[in-house]
Amino acid sequence: MFKDKTIVLGVTGSIAAYKAAEITSKLVQAGAGVEVVLTDSAQKFITPLSFRSLTNRQPVTSMWEPASDVNVKHVSLANAADAILIAPATANIIAKLAGGFADDMLSCTVLATRAPVIVAPAMNCNMWDNPVTQQNIKTLQDRGFILVGPETGYLACGTEGRGRLAPVDQILAIVGSVLNKKKDLAGKTFVVTTGGTREPLDPVRFIGNRSSGKMGYAMAAAARDRGAMVKLISTVELPETAGMEVTRVQTAAEMLASVKNAVKGADALIMAAAVADFRPSAVANEKIKKTSAALDLKLEPTTDILAEIRGKFVRIGFAAETSELIDNAERKLDAKNLDIIVANDVTAPGCGFGSDTNKVTLIFRDGHMEDLPLMSKREVADAILDKTMPLLAPRRSGEVSPPRSQ
């Protein structure tokens, strides 16, 4: 989503300015061209050399630097930007932007641009809570500026409160969402599950699996970035969940209850979670101590979430298999009444648990299949959403898909 995009990164005078280097590094690694604008105050916290080393471009530090070309610098930056990100944004720059001031390179560039502007505040909690700052924030939001954070936590001044810069991954997720102009899922609601459930054996141990949650998160992030309202139900802590409604669960029973509630009015349910098929029939109240005797563990089946959930929404499931990939996936598609099942062999190179890539076969209700090449999980997610689009309109109008061709 960042490849070949130009991001103007404004850095202002906050102790959190050091995190701007990480933001820059991640944007560059993702293929973006980053133009850094440092205010005078920012240069007291971090040097231009840091950003020149990360971007191979000379940061802009003053309105009065000799121009390297005939362009007016703040205008050329404003025109070149696909997005402007100010991180960290102090109370001072927020006040300037709200008042329309243009007395330094950053404020001039923002005033001259038609690109979206994302603001990530960082300041003392009392400064954030001050009515003047709150009014300035409201003014910016009313004008279309996009706010990320701040978070509540320990601050450099030694106090705790709201004013901490939002996590870097969360900031980047919002920038990515803004850059993604493909909003074909706007107005749609997607419920996505991810991660492996944990079925307790005692207060310490559980029965689980190796699912990292990466594929499910990629599905959720892709749907969000394409404009959908996303309800993510997850067993794992994942970064970059800004813009999603997130519910944390642990067990299959908790996931079932959350899915039942979330699918009301949904357009699609994407069950990417690795839900345990069995759980201990009895959970010990205290930790089971190790002895020389064998432990007989009695298991009982968990409820099949997809078989249990009903509704007029698109149903997409996943089949992570180690053998007989297509046969097993087709049986699962039929048993769970799915529209699409995403089948992958977790023993194949680049397709195992925790990997950042995947190679899948899409099997559809009408019987046809499509093999996708090995690619990133985000690319897989977008491919799945492309195939989901034609199914959305008829389903919400009340049509029921015919049985799968045999």
CA dist 88 and 363 (Å) reads 46
8 A C-beta contact, residue 319 and residue 343: yes
8 A C-beta contact, residue 239 and residue 186: no
CA dist 375 and 197 (Å) reads 26
CA dist 87 and 145 (Å) reads 13
Burial of 378 (0-12, 13-18, 19+ CB in 10 A): buried
- Tell me whether residue 287 is annotated as binding: yes
Task: Please list, residue by residue across 119-129, b when 16 or more beta carbons sit within 10 angstroms of its beta carbon and e when fewer do.
Answer: bbbbbbbebbe
Catalytic residue among 108, 125, 157, 351: 157
Q: What phi-psi label fits residue 195: left (phi over 0), alpha (psi between -120 and 50 degrees) or beta?
A: left
What are the residues whose beta carbons fall under 8 Å from the beta carbon of 293, sequence distance 6 or more?
A: none
Cβ count near 65 (within 10 Å): 11
Q: Can you tell me whether residue 117 is helix, strand or coil?
A: strand
- Tell me whether residue 336 is annotated as binding: yes
CA distances from 174 to 7, 80, 114, 250, 362 (A): 13, 20, 18, 27, 29
- Pairing of β 369-371 and β 361-364: antiparallel
What are the residues whose beta carbons fall under 8 Å from the beta carbon of 127, sequence distance 6 or more?
A: 91, 133, 163
Helices assigned H by DSSP within 91-211: 91-99, 105-112, 125-129, 131-142, 168-179
Structure tokens at 398: 């009340």
Report the DSSP beta bridge partners of residue 11: 38
Question: To the nearest 10°, the Cα dihedral for 221, 224, 229, 232?
Answer: 0
Cβ count near 140 (within 10 Å): 18
351 as an active site residue: the answer is no
CA dist 302 and 317 (Å) reads 17
- Tell me whether residue 277 is annotated as binding: yes
Binding site for CTP: which residues? 277, 287, 318, 332, 336
Binding site: which residues? 277, 287, 318, 332, 336
Return the active site residues.
Answer: 157
